[in-house]
Amino acid sequence: MYEIVEKYEEVPNVHRLVVREPNIAAKAQPGQFAILMADEQSERVPISIVDTKDDTFTMFILELGISSAKIVNMKEGDTLEAVTGPLGMPADLGKYGRVVLGGGCYGIGAIYPLARALKELGNEVVTIIEARSDYLLYFQEELKAVSDEFFVATSDGTEGTNGHVQDVLVKLIRDGERFDHAKFIGCTYMMMNCSHITSPYRIPTKVALNTIMLDGTGMCGCCRVSVEGETKFACVDGPEFDGHHVDWDELMKRKSSYLMEEMLAYQTAPHTCKALEKAYSGDSK
């Protein structure tokens, strides 16, 4: 049984989830992920591991569909049906010099272990995060603590630069900043845009792809991506890949292949009703 030690909504849609699993806590390395199942019948959801502490590990989970909804609707003290991990290859870490990191959505949290590790390795870390609006920013203090420079971009300009990670990145590069390495985690569109920007400057760029996954061990092939014309599995070869060589169009198409099923899953998904719970427990009278 995998106990949820801590769970709360950090900002709308993004939930911090701390799960007790000593083995994962002991072995997880930056860039790896775990696969969670809320109950026996739910999908397997891959989530980046952000931090570990004693026998627990922390994740930031973005509520997107019925399966993540099931997880985020669980309460502290509830137990997850299954937790598998750490999965995937650890991120490439080394002493590069000056490193730029970009994160959005769940990536704001997911970029954190990379920033910390790179900083510990003696790199100069520049972190850029993005959100739609100021009320969707989280984890800023923690990220600032492990970054040498820290930038924020919001789509509506309510905090930091009006725009996205790529807008800050372009500005920094145009201002003469040099980067020796770049890593981006977040929505596919953001990672693609950022990769397009670093490409002409030949900044080695790694992106952590969030493909559809099933087993997470390379058996099913759901998470297939084309990198430099070669088929790779995000679960065992990744999730980190060279952003300059990912076939982004194919990736986007593959990600939306189960749209109808995802939507229809809402129709028959059992969902809790407080009024009913009350009626059953006899509280209503």
Positive or negative torsion for Cα 35, 38, 44, 50: negative
Q: How far is the CB of 146 from another protein (least distance, A)?
A: 26
| Closer residue to another protein (CB): 201 or 280 | 280
Measuring CA to CA, which residue among 182, 149, 142, 184 is closest to residue 164? 184
Q: Is 139 left (phi over 0), alpha (psi -120 to 50) or beta?
A: left
Is residue 43 part of the contact set for another protein (CB under 8 A)? no
Backbone angles phi, psi at 258, to 5 degrees: -110, 30
| Closer residue to another protein (CB): 112 or 248 | 248
Is residue 220 part of the contact set for another protein (CB under 8 A)? no
Element (H, E) at 182: strand 181-185
Whether 180 and 97 have beta carbons less than 8 Å apart is answered as yes
The amino acid at 140: Q
DSSP bridge partners of 100: 126, 182
Measuring CA to CA, which residue among 141, 173, 148 is closest to residue 97? 148
Is residue 211 part of the contact set for another protein (CB under 8 A)? no
Tokens of 273: 């009703």
Q: Can you state the angle between helices 248-255 and 188-198, rounded to 10 degrees?
A: 180
Q: What is the footprint of another protein within residues 147-176 (CB under 8 A)?
A: 154-158, 162-164
Exactly one of 200, 260, 282, 283 binds another protein (CB under 8 A); that residue is 260
Which listed range, 21-29, 141-149, 236-244, 258-266, lies at the site for another protein (CB under 8 A)? 258-266
Tokens of 172: 């920094």
Say how far apart CA 31 and CA 283 lie, in whole Å: 46
Q: What is the footprint of another protein within residues 54-73 (CB under 8 A)?
A: 62-65, 68-69, 72
Is residue 281 part of the contact set for another protein (CB under 8 A)? no
Exactly one of 26, 121, 219, 276 binds another protein (CB under 8 A); that residue is 276
Is residue 237 part of the contact set for another protein (CB under 8 A)? no
Exactly one of 44, 119, 132, 232 binds another protein (CB under 8 A); that residue is 132
Measuring CA to CA, which residue among 255, 258, 113, 282 is closest to residue 189? 255
Say how far apart CA 64 and CA 249 lie, in whole Å: 21
Is residue 224 part of the contact set for another protein (CB under 8 A)? no
Is residue 8 part of the contact set for another protein (CB under 8 A)? no
Which listed range, 20-28, 34-42, 233-241, 251-259, lies at the site for another protein (CB under 8 A)? 251-259
Q: How far is the CB of 51 from another protein (least distance, A)?
A: 23
Is residue 267 part of the contact set for another protein (CB under 8 A)? yes
Contact residues: another protein, CB under 8 A: 12-13, 62-65, 68-69, 72, 132-136, 154-158, 162-164, 187-189, 192-193, 252, 255-256, 259-260, 262-264, 266-276, 279
